[in-house]
Homo-oligomer: A and B are copies of this chain.
Amino acid sequence: MTDVRAWAADGPHEEFKAFGYKLGPLGVDEVDIDVDYCGLCHSDLSMWTNEWGRTQYPFVGGHEVVGRVRATGAQVPNLKPGDKVGLGWFARSDLASRQSMAGDHHLSPGNEGTIMGRHGGFADIVRCQWPWASPLPDDLDVAKAGPLFCGGITVFSPIMSFGVKPTDKVGVVGIGGLGHLATQFLNKWGCEVTAFTSSPDKAEEAKKFGAHKTLNSRDPKSWKEAAGRFDFLLVTVNVTLDWQRLTATLAPKGRLHFVGAVTEPVPVHVPSIMGGQKQVSASPLGAPATIMQMLEFCGRHDIAPLTEHYKMSDINKAIEHLEAGKARYRIILENDF
Contacts and interface: CB of A to CB of B under 8 A. Distances in A.
Interface string A248-281: 0000110000111111011111110111111111
A104 interface: yes
A216 interface: no
Nearest to A277: B283
A252 B105 CA distance: 11
Nearest to A282: B274
A281 B284 contact: no
A217 interface: no
A99 interface: yes
A229 to B, nearest CB: 12
A76 to B, nearest CB: 26
Nearest to A111: B275
Q: How large is the interface on A (under 10, 10 to 19, 20 to 34, 35 or more residues)?
A: 20 to 34
A274 B252 contact: no
B280 A279 contact: yes
A159 interface: no
A95 interface: no
Contact of A107 (B104, B276, B279): B276
Interface in A107-163: 107, 109, 161
Most buried by B among A104, A109, A228, A282: A282
A99 B274 CA distance: 15
The 9 closest A-B CB pairs, nearest first, are A265-B267, A274-B282, A279-B281, A107-B252, A277-B283, A262-B270, A280-B280, A266-B268, A273-B282
Interface of A: 99, 104, 107, 109, 161, 228, 252-253, 258-263, 265-271, 273-284
Given A266-B267, A279-B280, 11 more contacts: A104-B253, A161-B277, A258-B274, A261-B270, A262-B270, A263-B271, A268-B268, A277-B282, A278-B282, A279-B281, A280-B280
